[in-house]
Amino acid sequence: MSPEQFARSGRGAIHNMNQVQKSLLQLITETSTNLPPDVRRAIARANLQEEFGTRAALALNTIVDNIVSAEEDVQPICQDTGMPTFIIHCPVGFNQIEFEKDIKAAVAEATRLGKLRPNSVDPLTGKNTGDNLGPGVPVVHFHQWEKDEVDVRLILKGGGCENKNIQYALPTELPGLGKAGRDLDGIRKCILHAVYQAQGQGCSAGFIGVGIGGDRTSGYDLAKEQLFRSLDDTNENPELAELEKYVVEKANQLDIGTMGFGGRVTLLGCKIGVRNRIPASFYVSVAYNCWAFRRLGVVLDPKTGEIRHWLYKDKEEKLERPQGGFNIDGAIVLEAPISEEKIRQLKVGDVVLIRGLMHTGRDEIHRYLMGNDAPIDLSGGVLYHCGPVMLKDDAGEWHVKAAGPTTSSREEPYQADIIEKFGIRAVIGKGGMGKKTLEGLKKSGAVYLNAIGGAAQFYARTVQRVVGVDLLDKFGVPEAMWHLEVQDFPAIVTMDSHGNSLHQEVEQNSLVKLENLKDPVFC
């Protein structure tokens, strides 16, 4: 897309920006709203592998629908745009200080336009800066080279998958796999366990980058660097090339599936790098990335700042909006206030449609509600684990630009208590919750509903209007309590009021599958 097409499409406010900032804004916008071709190909292949009519197939259809909508509407694929991470290769003598200023200006403008969610939070005060800037944010890594061009690569990696990153120190003992030693087979076991432990919480089917060696810090850097490789490349190291293929094949035998619903496709790609270590330390670091693999790059002219060409866009890869999806006709309608009797009739696997009022509530809201009254009556209500992207128009009205679910496991310490305290009947999120919440659902007569992780545009379309917001000044946009009127918001019952949990079932079954991969493969 040319700068002129970019401006006409409404993809950016170009005024008062220099050419470098305009190019960077275009990169950020494209990365947030338009998946690269290699990722699209991987998702299209996965969609063909799932059996029609299964929960995994339904989830993948929703994902494809969401990808198409995000591209057409130029809106974030997923509401969690993560912590923008830039890797830049530039000529010797290039002014890195000024270029980082341009990056920050472009990030702030992209946030103002709703292409990035404001995600920069002070860890001590909890204050959101509102513009994605602050100490250490965005993340920028510079490298010099002897080329007359500036190579800029960007990854937007959301918190749900970031939280499923994991690092192993060998030798170690792994559930289901036993001892992992300081050898290639021990590395193999660590990588398989990393996929297993992510379950559906990282928005599977996902991708992993693996770093072998280094120290605590450089190991994770190396793992994330692997996510910048093309999915279609072949590792230069034959042993690692074989291991990459093996991991994808065997991970897809775990039957974790899309969203952790069970299914044939759990992992879409694996890339492995190696770095020397010291004798005392042997780390295997894994960077997990969700299906919304937002990674793009551009090559800039170092003098003009104009885009010479795009990276990762080897060829156009269109996805067709699927015909299948949630069976609206057979779904059960829930509208607050919901009675306990109606909730007790639901069981795992039921598809429901939410109509009427729902309330968002993430980490800060849960912590707040433990010690305070709710700002609105939640009795019989629906609580949505969501940190939306919101924009206010000239008339002062708020509009939802992206509104997919966040990972629910973070609310496990609070959820059962809050359900009982406020009489909540339905909680919506992704990835499931634990034993305490399951017992709380059973005791209070409530259900957990799994929405499709990352499908921010799919769910934003169900929002009819923003009724109001509470605690916005205290917590910022993502953590505020938004009151939304929705129409036919679909989700699946994955934890019911009778003590049944699909997440628990899938985790137990996948552990058995993992144990089948225990025996050594590599010498």
Q: Is the pLDDT of residue 10 over 60?
A: no
**pLDDT tens readout for residues 191-245:** 999 999 999 999 999 999 999 999 999 999 999 999 999 999 999 999 999 999 9
Q: How far apart are the first and last CA of the chain?
A: 49
294-326 core/surface letters (b: 16 or more CB in 10 A; e: else) = bbbbbbbebeebebeebbbbeeeeebeebeebb
Length of the chain, in residues: 523
Report how far residue 192's alpha carbon sits from residue 200's, in angstroms, rounded to the nearest whole number. Answer: 15
Q: Is the pLDDT of residue 3 over 80?
A: no
Report how far residue 100's alpha carbon sits from residue 81's, in angstroms, rounded to the nearest whole number. Answer: 19
Q: Would you report the helix, strand and coil content of the chain in percent, each value rounded to 5?
A: 35, 25, 40
**Is residue 366 packed enough to be buried (19+ CB in 10 Å), middle (13-18) or exposed (0-12)?**
buried
Q: Is the pLDDT of residue 9 over 50?
A: no
Q: What average pLDDT does the segment 91-99 reach?
A: 97
**pLDDT tens readout for residues 107-154:** 999 999 999 999 999 999 999 999 999 999 999 999 999 999 999 999
Residue 133 gets which letter from DSSP? -
The predicted structure's pLDDT at residue 314? 84
* pLDDT-based confidence at residue 330 (cuts at 50, 70, 90): confident
For 182, the token pair is 């300081």
% of the chain surpassing 90 pLDDT: 93
Q: How far apart, in Å, are the Cα atoms of 502 and each of 141, 347, 385, 449?
A: 41, 10, 18, 11
**pLDDT tens readout for residues 391-446:** 999 999 999 999 999 999 999 999 999 999 999 999 999 999 999 999 999 999 99
Q: How many CA atoms lie within 13 A of 58 on its CB side?
A: 19
8 Å CB contact between 457 and 449: no
Report how far residue 178's alpha carbon sits from residue 182's, in angstroms, rounded to the nearest whole number. Answer: 13
Q: Give the gyration radius of the chain's Cα atoms.
A: 23
- Annotate 68-91 with DSSP letters as a single string: HHHHHHT--SSS-----EEEEEEE
Q: Is the pLDDT of residue 29 over 90?
A: yes
Q: Is the pLDDT of residue 461 over 60?
A: yes
Q: Is the pLDDT of residue 288 over 70?
A: yes
The predicted structure's pLDDT at residue 327? 66
Range scoring the smallest mean pLDDT among 52-56, 70-74, 371-375, 480-484: 52-56
Report how far residue 223's alpha carbon sits from residue 274's, in angstroms, rounded to the nearest whole number. Answer: 9
Report how far residue 492's alpha carbon sits from residue 288's, in angstroms, rounded to the nearest whole number. Answer: 25
In the three-class reduction of DSSP (H, G, I as helix; E, B as strand; rest coil), residue 212 is classed as: strand
8 Å CB contact between 211 and 221: yes
In the predicted model, what is the mean pLDDT of the chain? 95
The DSSP element (H or E) to which 267 belongs, if any, is strand 267-275
- Annotate 375-419 with DSSP letters as a single string: SS--TT-EEE----EEEE-TTS-EEEEE-PPPBGGGGTTTHHHHH
* pLDDT-based confidence at residue 80 (cuts at 50, 70, 90): very high
Q: Is the pLDDT of residue 2 over 50?
A: no
Q: Is the pLDDT of residue 13 over 60?
A: no
Structural domains of the chain, with CATH: 1-77+83-156+299-325 (no CATH), 158-292 (no CATH), 332-506 (3.20.130.10)
Residue 178 gets which letter from DSSP? E
Report how far residue 482's alpha carbon sits from residue 463's, in angstroms, rounded to the nearest whole number. Answer: 11
Q: Locate all alpha helices (DSSP H) within 74-150, ordered by sequence.
A: 96-112
Q: pTM for the whole thing?
A: 0.94
Range scoring the smallest mean pLDDT among 175-179, 351-355, 421-425, 517-521: 517-521
The predicted structure's pLDDT at residue 322? 85
Of residues 195, 291, 187, the one with CA closest to residue 510: 195
Report how far residue 385's alpha carbon sits from residue 369's, in angstroms, rounded to the nearest whole number. Answer: 14
The predicted structure's pLDDT at residue 315? 85
For 140, the token pair is 């920028």
For 494, the token pair is 């994955």
Q: Which residues pair with 360 in a beta bridge?
A: 384
* pLDDT-based confidence at residue 310 (cuts at 50, 70, 90): very high
Of residues 302, 298, 19, the one with CA closest to residue 148: 302
Q: How far apart, in Å, are the Cα atoms of 268 and each of 19, 204, 271, 417?
A: 36, 9, 11, 37
**Is residue 25 packed enough to be buried (19+ CB in 10 Å), middle (13-18) or exposed (0-12)?**
buried
Range scoring the smallest mean pLDDT among 204-213, 325-334, 352-361, 399-408: 325-334
State the chain's maximal CA–CA distance in angstroms. 71
8 Å CB contact between 53 and 351: no
For 190, the token pair is 């660590």
The predicted structure's pLDDT at residue 14? 59
The predicted structure's pLDDT at residue 520? 86
Q: Is the pLDDT of residue 8 over 50?
A: no
For 149, the token pair is 């061009």
Cα dihedral: 128, 129, 134, 139 (round 10): 70
Q: Is the pLDDT of residue 268 over 50?
A: yes
Tell whether the torsion through CA atoms of 333, 339, 340 and 342 is positive or negative: negative
**Could you tell me the strand order of the sheet in which 166-169 lies?**
166-169, 283-289, 206-213, 267-275
Q: What average pLDDT does the segment 69-88 reach?
A: 97
